Amino acid sequence: MIQGSDMRGQQLESFQISYTQGRALTAADQGSVVVGADLVKKLGAKVGGQVTVRGEKFTVVGILDKTLTAPDSSVWMTLGDAQRIFVQDLPEMLRSQVNPQDVATSFVVYPTKGTDPEALAKAINLAVPGVKATGPSAFQQEIASTTKILNAILYGIALISLIVGGLSVINTMTMSVSERTREIGVRKAIGASDGQIVRQFLAEAAVIGLIGGVSGLFLGWVAAIVANALGQASSLSLFLVTPRLAIGSVAFAVVLGVVSGLYPSLHAARLKPVVALRYE
Amino acid sequence: MTALIAGRDVHKRYVLGKENFVDALRGASLEVEEGEMVAIMGPSGSGKSTLLHIMGCLDSLNSGEVWLAGRRVDTLGRRDLTQLRRKEVGFIFQTFNLVPSLTAIENVALAAQYAGKGRRAREAARQVLDQVDLADRENHRPPELSGGQQQRAAIARALVNKPKVIFGDEPTGNLDSASSGEIVRMMREINRETGTTFVLVTHDSEVASACDRVIHMLDGIVTPQSP
């Protein structure tokens, strides 16, 4: 992305950008650019060297530190240069009718301390026709609606995994009970109580849950690393595996195992010893 | 002598479907004294195993009374029946019924653990394995043992909680004649040395001849030829 700015808001911006090399762009730096971290390799940028943007050569005056956000994949230039490039790319019919100095895609308004930005946006909308001003809440909403969809997809996958996982444990435990019916009969014949049979099978279900949880955590962790590495090109770092999440997910898998194993365990414990012993 | 086990007019019906049932026991009565070694014989389907399972608290009856070690067992709940199986009763089966994933000593210790022996279970298991001459095979799993050795492990498991009675359902049914003779001699020896009562369902005349007496069954009742 090419970003052009008249630099007047630089001192007012709360999101401060730092530089790996070089310096910030000034309004007088016509024909110069600052390059985002992810584009350094692609453009072959180095401070003092030249890069080609939309067929034009620019001198690199600075390279940005990685921010893991949009600036990583942006090239910054003066407003005049950006306006000129923008108009150059328009179809010929339009180009002659547009004055480059009139082109701007957005204005950033910095309120003074104590001013309500929402009220300010409202006031601008009322006072300036043909302009749509939005406050921070609109920006938040925009971000929230994007993450909402992503969250819904992830929750959906998690829910399906939960149901499939739960059914798998129930199926495994039911099979195990069925295969070991005779063993249950023997255990009861030699003195096992219903509770001891339930505890044995629940413990087995918990171990199945633990193995599944640890394997799932490992695979998820690898998938998160891969997804984050792939997303790096577009400055996306979507997944974060924290110790709390790791412990929580394994504990949840164990609990799921125990809950899913409950019915087969109770069924096993209620078997009459002689019925279980006769099972072939 | 007082009867350790008594069955009076025991009836057992297996319902297989609507109007489809089998009367396995039709009023069987018997008494076994403490310290006796008794064989129950009869043709297939005469109700021998059913009666054994009922006396051993593994199955329920439809009517009649069963007494074991001074308690009427047919009116007991699941918990009391479990306690009786743990403390008063041992079982030996035709197919040995050892847990295949456990070693000989673990199989024996399992019964001791269920009886609440905790850490002493393994020591108790080792003692009875020594008693049945299987100490040198204690860490072998059932598939690594011969039929005779598996049955000896099963006898050790039945003995570990020092029960009053050991019930055997065709204990020599899966053994060759040499192993069969060895198992019969071992049971007789244990009976004489410890006073443990043995009730053995069998088709094997060698087993029957080693017992103090033989109870005959036919069509779900104990026949009069039994003394």
User: Is residue B142 within 8 Å of residue B153, measured between CB atoms?
Assistant: yes
Please compute Rg for chain B using Cα positions.
Answer: 17
Name the average pLDDT for chain B.
Answer: 93
Residues of chain A contacting residue B99, judged by C-beta atoms under 8 Å apart: 183, 186-187
Phi and psi at A22, nearest 5°, equal 75, -150
The answer for B96, left when phi > 0, alpha when psi is -120 to 50, beta otherwise, is: left
Q: Give the per-residue pLDDT at A234.
A: 60
pLDDT reported for residue B1: 47
At B183, is the secondary structure helix, strand, or coil?
Answer: helix
Encode pLDDT of B18-34 as tens digits: 889 999 999 999 999 99
Give residue-wise pLDDT tens across range A188-246: 999 999 999 999 989 988 998 899 899 999 999 999 888 888 877 665 667 788 889 89
Which of B109, B134, B139 has the alpha carbon at shortest distance from B123? B109
Helix or strand (DSSP H, E) at A261: helix A243-270
List of residues 6+ apart from B169 with CB closer than 8 A = B49, B52, B53, B91, B92, B93, B94, B201
3-state secondary structure of A223: helix
Boundary (domain end) residue, out of A73, A97, A115: A115
Residue A109 lies in a domain: yes
Across A83-87, A169-173, B167-171, the highest mean pLDDT is recorded for: B167-171
Cβ B103 vs Cβ B138: under 8 Å: yes
Domain containing A12 equals 2-115
Give the range among A67-71, A234-238, B12-16 with minimum mean pLDDT: A234-238
Q: How many CB atoms lie within 10 A of CB A116?
A: 11
Question: Is B46 in contact with B220 (CB distance < 8 Å)?
Answer: yes
Q: Is residue B226 pLDDT above 60, yes or no? A: no
Per-residue pLDDT reduced to its tens digit, B76-130: 999 999 999 999 999 999 999 999 999 999 999 999 999 999 889 999 999 999 9
Q: pLDDT at residue A178 above 90?
A: no
Q: What mean pLDDT is predicted for residues A124-149?
A: 85
Residue range A53-82: mean pLDDT, rounded: 87
Distance set, CA A232 to CA A154, A236, A237, A276, B42 (Å): 20, 5, 6, 59, 82
Q: Specify the higher pLDDT residue, B143 or A260.
A: B143
A47 burial (CB, 10 Å; 0-12 / 13-18 / 19+) is middle
Which residue of chain B comes nearest to A186, CA vs CA?
B97
Q: Determine the average pLDDT of the residues in A36-65.
A: 88
CB contact under 8 A, B111 and A190: yes
Confidence of residue B219 (pLDDT cuts 50, 70, 90): very high
A138 domain-assigned: no
Contact B85 A187 (CB under 8 A): no
Mean pLDDT (whole number) for B158-166: 95
The whole-number pLDDT of residue B90 equals 95
Domain contains A143: no
Task: Suggest the residue from A186, A190, A197 to mutate for an interface test with chain B (most B CBs closer than 10 A).
Answer: A190
> Distance between CA atoms of B215 and B227, rounded to whole angstroms?
7
User: What interface predicted TM-score (ipTM) does this complex get?
Assistant: 0.90
A252 and A186 both lie in a single domain: yes
Residue A155 located in a structural domain: no
Binning pLDDT at 50, 70 and 90, where does residue B167 land? very high
- Residue pair A25/A63 in contact by the 8 Å Cβ criterion: no
Strand partners, B165: B89, B197
Which H, E and C letters describe A31-73, residue by residue?
CEEEECHHHHHHHCCCCCCEEEECCEEEEEEEEECCCCCHHHH
> Do A25 and A83 reside in the same domain of the chain?
yes
Which residue type sits at A22? G
Residues of B in contact with A186 (CB under 8 A): 93, 97-99
**Which residues of chain B have a CB within 8 Å of the CB of A183?**
99
Tell whether A145 is covered by a domain. no
Q: In which band, very low, low, confident or very high, does the pLDDT at B212 lie, cut at 50, 70 and 90?
A: very high
Task: Tell me whether A192 touches chain B (CB under 8 Å).
Answer: yes
Q: Are residues A193 and A262 in the same domain?
A: yes
Question: How many independent structural domains does chain A possess?
Answer: 2
A272 vs B93: CB contact, 8 Å cut-off? Answer: no
In a domain, A197, yes or no: yes
Amino acid letter at A15? F
Q: When comparing pLDDT for A74 and B1, which is higher?
A: A74
Q: Which amino acid is at A41?
A: K
Indicate the pTM of the whole model. Answer: 0.69
Q: Both A14 and A110 in a single domain?
A: yes
Say if residue A175 is in the same domain as residue A108.
no
CATH node for B35-59+76-222:
3.40.50.300
Domain end marker among A91, A115, A139 = A115
Could you tell me which chain B residue has the CA closest to the CA of A193? B82
Q: Is residue A244 part of a domain?
A: yes
Q: A191 touching B, CB under 8 A?
A: yes
Contact check, Cβ <8 Å, B58/A277: yes
Q: Does B91 touch chain A (CB under 8 A)?
A: yes
Which of the listed residues A57, A81, A115 is the one where a domain comes to its end? A115
Residues of B in contact with A190 (CB under 8 A): 85-86, 90-91, 110-111, 114, 157-158
In tens, the pLDDT along B38-69 reads: 999 999 999 999 999 999 999 999 999 999 99
pLDDT computed for residue A117 by the predictor? 87
Write down the mean pLDDT value for chain A: 86
Domain spans of chain B, in order of start: 35-59+76-222
Tokens at residue B221, please? 């009742």
Nearest to B91 by CA among B41, B158, B40, B28: B158
